[in-house]
Amino acid sequence: MLFNVLCILIAVQVPSVPVLSEVPPALPQDVHIDNWLLTWSPAPEEGDVTYTVQYNSFDSDVWTNVPACGNISLNSCNVSSTKAKDEHGCVMLRVQAERRGVTSTPVKACSKHGDSCSPDFSLIAGSNSLTVQLNRDHSLAKDNGDHLQHRVYYGKKGEPWKKLPDAVSSVTIRELEEGQLYCAEVHYVKYRKPLGLATCAQCKLIPKSGKDSQSQIAVAVVPVVVILFILIPVVAYCLIFQHGTIKQWLRPPYQIPEDFLLQPFPENLPISSSSPTEEHYHVISSFSPEELSE
């Protein structure tokens, strides 16, 4: 009886050992599609992990496993079979990791090089602004008109992104910080519902304004102006009032000997004895003063 009581007391005092819960695997990284080949990067130092690819069509809110892309250990899968799951051939895709029955948060894929189901856009960085230049020369825009719009997400790199109102044409984001890296991605929307894959993020550095460069130019120009302001009057004074001194400085270093005029005339110089020749002429007519008086 005493032994049983002691066993009960010991069992009550020993704390119960908690059951360790399985930690979800790390998220797949850089999930993107290129020509219907979906690729992702496994998290480093992750072992015994499999991946499942799922798709979602425009007219459905249910995510379905892609055939031949469920619980695979590879980091890529051909998803061309999903094109037939939507009338436009555009579906959204995502990948989730799984380890011993515990799954990670799904990560949506993006289109890295663009396709018929992802917008074609370019970023132009300006002064405190970023312009998302969109192109509507594609089949989806022609088939749906203004019902097909663009949804732009943007933000400073490393910070949460913001969503702009859906737009048909290009948009400009203003009042951004100079010298900061901003990124943007674009998604097609139809009747305010996402269609197809979003583009992978593109980033641009917002240039600094010209104030710094103008100040640098001013710093360089001011000394030059001061020097010219001082130098020009000095040069003018020298040319006007000191021209004699300048001539004296420019005179070649030569002196005339003092006895130059006292030197004897050179002797034995040849003397010419010839006389000018008389000119011969013929008298054509003549008259005398007496004849003039008559």
Q: Which of 179, 48, 38 is nearest to 109 (CA)?
A: 38
Distance set, CA 84 to CA 66, 81, 91, 111, 138 (Å): 12, 6, 9, 18, 20
**Cα gap 39→78, rounded to integer Å:** 9
Q: Are residues 106 and 129 in the same domain?
A: no
Range of 146's domain? 121-205
Q: At which of 188, 205, 222 does a domain end?
A: 205
Q: Are residues 67 and 106 in the same domain?
A: yes
Q: At which of 77, 111, 145 does a domain end?
A: 111
Scanning 133-277, the segments in alpha helix (DSSP H) are 139-144, 211-241, 243-250
Q: Are residues 149 and 184 in the same domain?
A: yes
Q: Which of 154, 205, 148, 197 is nearest to 135 (CA)?
A: 148
Tell me the three state secondary structure of residue 7: helix
Q: Is residue 262 part of a domain?
A: no
**Cα gap 157→35, rounded to integer Å:** 27
Token pair for 257: 């000997």
Q: Is residue 239 part of a domain?
A: no
CA atoms within 13 A on the CB side of 247: 5
Any residues with CB less than 8 A from the CB of 269 and at least 6 apart, and which? none
Q: Is residue 83 part of a domain?
A: yes
Partner residues linked to 151 by β-bridges: 187
**Cα gap 57→84, rounded to integer Å:** 10
Helix and strand counts by DSSP (H, E) for the chain: 5, 18
Per-residue pLDDT tens, the chain, 294 aa: give them. 555 544 555 554 544 434 445 788 999 999 999 888 999 998 777 778 999 999 998 878 899 999 889 999 999 999 999 988 887 788 999 999 999 889 999 999 999 876 788 888 899 999 899 999 988 777 788 888 888 899 999 999 889 999 999 998 899 999 999 999 999 999 999 988 999 899 999 999 999 876 555 555 656 677 777 787 788 887 777 777 676 777 777 776 666 666 656 556 555 555 555 555 555 555 556 555 555 455
Q: Are residues 127 and 188 in the same domain?
A: yes
Q: Is residue 267 part of a domain?
A: no
Q: At which of 81, 111, 141 does a domain end?
A: 111
- CATH number for position 200: 2.60.40.10
Q: Is residue 62 part of a domain?
A: yes
The answer to whether the pTM exceeds 0.85 is no
Q: Is residue 102 part of a domain?
A: yes
Q: Are residues 103 and 143 in the same domain?
A: no
**Cα gap 259→141, rounded to integer Å:** 108
Q: Are residues 133 and 159 in the same domain?
A: yes
Tell me the three state secondary structure of residue 239: helix
Distance set, CA 98 to CA 1, 51, 102, 254 (Å): 52, 6, 5, 104
Q: Which of the 8 DSSP states describes residue 80? A: G
How many structural domains are present in the chain? 2
Q: Are residues 201 and 128 in the same domain?
A: yes
Q: Is residue 37 part of a domain?
A: yes
Q: Are residues 156 and 106 in the same domain?
A: no
Q: Is residue 277 part of a domain?
A: no
Q: Are residues 45 and 65 in the same domain?
A: yes
**Cα gap 49→73, rounded to integer Å:** 7
